[in-house]
């Protein structure tokens, strides 16, 4: 018996390979299918089944291309419907993989079709569960992502309470829990950095499995959920209805373009230039009006959160040799209209006689000095939880996740100093603001991590008391956001 977790850190996602007696199953595969073919070949196994725990919202799964290349059967749990050939399993239906058995446990709550797959070993003993987004390590899935459901998030949270207690917590304590996500995913609130655990330990440490009432569970689960990124519903729909062939997407996206080709496509196809180099390389020199989202970070989730149209034509500026990787990572979140990369990047742009742009980046010490000697405007673009934990005095929260909602409230006459935790998100924010006509932008290199090592005044109890006095005249970011939408 082989059970292997394939964990992808930038998506905080776990796919799984199961093998016995020359037969294999894949659970929750990513878009690129070749790694699973290679793994099967390495184990001298044929992929028989592709199991999907639910219609994933945060990535486009690889079930269609993988099935095409292997002939494997795609399995969803009860309540699922697809526009492509698949098997919709019934509750407790069993599938054989060599000497192993995979049993379908319908566990609705995260979504209506969410299912947990119980793996029974050669002796029919429960070995592990693949829980998808039903049960994470330290958390459970958010209950607000069901596709076209008339149910409220409270209804789904109640279903999840019942699923956990009636379907999962009745299993032996030594069963291993293999979830679809870990820390960093937006599919839950407080996931652990660990990627698997025993069910017995989760019963002791996971708040959602504690001895609490259904009412208390629902309240806890539905409190403090941040709005889902805009691409979630679109990815879930693609997983349900189908998507473009991965090889076609890769071939189109890795086409080398001349500078003149790129200029023409920007004008005629309304393409955007996406620069995925390092933050400080972008700051020093970049193609005017290009968008920065670095490949060496949580690239795909930020693309999904900030580029609102999945069909947006994209031209890449990448580090040399990382063109195919970038196209692959775009495809993981459904951005299949990458139409090529600028051959030679920024250097080719300059050699063709074009001007470049830059963003001023200063050290944390320089920033601290300016902060203490004068009044400056600062944008903290970290997530709300990071901001609440610790922040600069008299600086409001402006999360990058919601930059579309707050960018137009800024003044183009003012200079803004931008920081995040380490310098990645602040450069994304700066590039977006610059594309929208803001020129007086200063990035703080190293972000809040570096700022904390300076003399800058971080929020203390006294500072919080002073801020509380101003509460009547100030509103939080979320109050501003939701009052605006109302």
pLDDT tens string 17-55: 999 999 999 999 999 999 999 999 999 999 999 999 999
Residue 4 pLDDT exceeds 80: yes
The arithmetic mean of pLDDT across residues 263-292, rounded, is 97
390 and 334 in one domain?
Answer: no
333 and 366 in one domain?
Answer: no
Residue 325 pLDDT exceeds 80: yes
* Helix/strand/coil for 385: helix
For 184-222, the pLDDT digits (tens) are 888 877 788 899 999 999 999 999 999 999 999 999 999
Q: Which two tokens stand for residue 402?
A: 């919601």
**Beta-bridge partners for 95:** 102
Share of the chain above pLDDT 70, in %: 94
The per-residue pLDDT for 150 is 83
Query: Residue 460: which pLDDT band, with cuts at 50, 70 and 90?
Result: low
Name the helix (H) or strand (E) containing 351. Answer: helix 345-351
The per-residue pLDDT for 463 is 54
Residue 397 pLDDT exceeds 50: yes
Residue 239 lies in a domain: no
DSSP 21-88: TTEEEEES--S--HHHHHHHHHTT-EEEEEE-SS--SSS---HHHHHHHH-PEEEE-TT---SSS-EE
Query: Could you tell me the CATH number of the domain that includes residue 260?
Result: 3.40.250.10
Rg (CA), the chain: 24
401 and 256 in one domain?
Answer: no
In terms of Cβ atoms closer than 10 Å to its own Cβ (0-12, 13-18, 19+), residue 9 is: exposed
Residue 145 pLDDT exceeds 90: no
Separation between Cα atoms, residue 84 and residue 275, nearest integer Å: 35
Backbone angles phi, psi at 178, to 5 degrees: -115, 105
Q: Which domain holds residue 409?
A: 360-485
Among 324, 351, 378, residue at a domain's last position: 351
229 and 197 in one domain?
Answer: yes
For 157-188, the pLDDT digits (tens) are 999 999 999 999 999 999 999 999 998 888 87
End-to-end CA distance of the chain: 55
Among 351, 385, 412, residue at a domain's last position: 351
The arithmetic mean of pLDDT across residues 337-356, rounded, is 97
Whole-structure pTM value: 0.91
Share of the chain above pLDDT 90, in %: 87
The per-residue pLDDT for 469 is 47
Query: Residue 478: which pLDDT band, with cuts at 50, 70 and 90?
Result: very low
225 and 85 in one domain?
Answer: yes
Among 198, 214, 234, residue at a domain's last position: 234
Residue 393 lies in a domain: yes
The per-residue pLDDT for 479 is 46
Q: Which two tokens stand for residue 450?
A: 């570096």
Is the pLDDT higher at 374 or at 322?
322
Query: Could you tell me the CATH number of the domain that includes residue 76?
Result: 3.60.15.10
**Beta-bridge partners for 140:** 135
Q: Does residue 444 contact residue 426 with C-beta atoms inside 8 Å?
A: yes
216 and 249 in one domain?
Answer: no
Q: Which two tokens stand for residue 41?
A: 């070949």
For 360-390, the pLDDT digits (tens) are 999 999 999 999 888 899 999 999 989 999 9
Separation between Cα atoms, residue 118 and residue 12, nearest integer Å: 22
345 and 270 in one domain?
Answer: yes
Ramachandran area for residue 437 (φ above 0: left; ψ -120 to 50: alpha; else beta): left
Is the pLDDT higher at 105 or at 224?
105
Residue 430 lies in a domain: yes
371 and 269 in one domain?
Answer: no
Query: Residue 227: which pLDDT band, with cuts at 50, 70 and 90?
Result: confident
109 and 6 in one domain?
Answer: yes
CB atoms within 10 A of CB 26: 30
Q: What is the mean pLDDT of the chain?
A: 93
CA 282 centroid distance within chain: 23
248 and 230 in one domain?
Answer: no
166 and 127 in one domain?
Answer: yes
Domain total for the chain?
A: 3
The per-residue pLDDT for 224 is 84
Q: Which two tokens stand for residue 31?
A: 């878009």
The per-residue pLDDT for 184 is 80
| Burial track 263-288 (b if 16+ CB lie within 10 A, e otherwise) | bebbeeeebbbbbbbbbebbbeebbe
Residue 226 pLDDT exceeds 90: no
The per-residue pLDDT for 387 is 94
Separation between Cα atoms, residue 416 and residue 265, nearest integer Å: 32
322 and 220 in one domain?
Answer: no
């Amino acid at each position: 018996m082989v059970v292997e977790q394939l964990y992808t850190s930038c998506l905080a996602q776990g796919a799984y390979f199961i093998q016995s007696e020359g037969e294999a199953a894949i659970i929750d595969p990513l878009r690129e299918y070749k790694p699973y073919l290679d793994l099967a070949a390495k184990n001298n196994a044929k992929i028989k089944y592709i199991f999907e725990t639910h219609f994933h919202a945060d990535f486009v799964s690889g079930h269609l291309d993988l099935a095409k290349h292997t002939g494997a059967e795609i399995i969803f749990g009860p309540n699922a419907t697809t526009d492509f050939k698949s098997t919709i399993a019934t509750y407790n239906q069993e599938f054989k993989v060599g000497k192993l058995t995979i049993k379908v446990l319908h566990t609705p709550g995260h979504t209506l079709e969410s299912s947990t797959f119980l793996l029974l070993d050669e002796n029919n003993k429960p070995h592990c569960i693949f829980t998808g987004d039903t049960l994470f390590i330290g958390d459970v899935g958010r209950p607000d992502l069901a596709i076209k459901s008339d149910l409220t998030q409270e209804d789904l949270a109640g279903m999840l309470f019942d699923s956990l207690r009636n379907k999962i917590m009745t299993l032996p304590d030594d069963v291993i829990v293999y979830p679809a996500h870990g820390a960093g995913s937006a599919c839950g609130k407080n996931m652990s950095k660990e990627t698997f655990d025993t069910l017995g330990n989760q019963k002791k440490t996971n708040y959602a499995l504690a001895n609490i009432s259904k009412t208390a569970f629902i309240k806890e689960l539905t409190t403090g959920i941040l709005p889902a990124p805009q691409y979630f519903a679109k990815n879930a729909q693609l997983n349900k209805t189908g998507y473009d062939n991965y090889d076609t997407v890769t071939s189109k996206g890795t086409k080398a373009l001349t500078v003149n080709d790129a200029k023409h496509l920007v004008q005629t196809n309304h393409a955007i230039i996406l620069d995925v180099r390092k933050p400080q390389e972008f700051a020093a020199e970049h193609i005017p009006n290009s968008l920065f989202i670095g490949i060496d970070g949580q690239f795909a989730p930020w693309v999904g959160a900030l580029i609102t149209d999945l069909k947006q034509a994209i031209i890449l500026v990448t580090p040399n040799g990382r063109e195919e990787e970038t196209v692959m990572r775009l495809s993981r979140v459904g951005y299949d209209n990458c139409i090529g990369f600028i051959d030679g990047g920024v250097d080719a742009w300059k050699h063709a006689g074009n001007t470049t742009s830059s963003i001023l980046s200063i050290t944390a010490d320089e920033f601290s000095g300016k902060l203490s000697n004068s009044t400056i405007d600062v944008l903290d673009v970290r997530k709300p939880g990071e901001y609440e934990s610790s922040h600069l005095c008299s600086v409001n929260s402006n999360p990058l996740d919601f930059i579309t909602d707050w960018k137009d409230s800024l003044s183009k006459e003012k200079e803004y100093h931008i920081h995040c935790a380490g310098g990645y998100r602040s450069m994304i924010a700066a590039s977006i603001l610059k594309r929208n006509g803001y020129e007086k932008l200063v990035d703080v290199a190293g972000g809040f991590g570096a700022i904390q090592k300076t003399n800058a005044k971080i929020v203390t109890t006294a500072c919080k008391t002073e801020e509380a006095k101003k509460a009547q005249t100030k509103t939080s970011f979320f109050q501003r956001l939701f009052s605006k939408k109302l």
